[in-house]
């Protein structure tokens, strides 16, 4: 289930974000999480199964566009469809808008078929 980020999940969210190749630097990571906390057009979501947060997806809203900025799944839960399910949920949340990847999420997003994105 996709839930909205809350400050209580900051540590787990930073851990998941750090799997992104462009979020290896701790300063950059802190900046990114602040951006999601403070800027209305940056929205962060977490994938929760029972009490475990195992995935993260973050978007930037630009009028009719929704750009996927970050997507990450805990290594122990990969290749089980969590990434694709997070994309599907984002599509439902932002129904009617155009969902696009950015340069850092394109490889995975473009691997998903039209049903997911």
Interacting residue ranges for ligand COA, rule: CB under 6 A: 19-21, 71-73, 78-84, 104-105, 107-108, 111
Choose between 21 and 96: whose C-beta lies nearer to ligand COA. 21
Least distance CB 55 / ligand COA (angstroms):
7
Choose between 28 and 78: whose C-beta lies nearer to ligand COA. 78
Q: What is the distance between the alpha carbons of residues 107 and 78, in angstroms, rounded to a whole number?
A: 16
Choose between 40 and 77: whose C-beta lies nearer to ligand COA. 77
- Contact criterion met (CB below 8 Å) for 86 and 54: no
Choose between 59 and 63: whose C-beta lies nearer to ligand COA. 59
DSSP string, 76-106: GGTTSSHHHHHHHHHHHHTTTSEEEE-TTTH
Q: What is the distance between the alpha carbons of residues 87 and 112, in angstroms, rounded to a whole number?
A: 9
Least distance CB 103 / ligand COA (angstroms):
9
Q: What is the distance between the alpha carbons of residues 75 and 6, in angstroms, rounded to a whole number?
A: 22
Least distance CB 58 / ligand COA (angstroms):
11
């Amino acid at each position: 289930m996709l839930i909205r980020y809350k400050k209580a999940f900051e540590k787990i969210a930073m851990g998941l974000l750090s799997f992104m190749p462009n979020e290896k630097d701790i300063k950059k990571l802190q900046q990114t999480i602040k951006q999601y906390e403070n800027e209305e057009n940056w929205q962060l979501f977490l994938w929760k199964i029972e009490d475990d947060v195992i995935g993260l997806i973050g978007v930037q809203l630009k009028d009719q566009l929704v750009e996927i900025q970050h997507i990450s799944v805990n290594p122990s839960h990969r290749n089980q469809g969590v990434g694709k399910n997070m994309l599907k949920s984002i599509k439902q949340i932002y129904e009617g808008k155009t969902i696009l990847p950015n340069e850092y999420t394109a490889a995975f997003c473009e691997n998903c078929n039209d049903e997911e994105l």
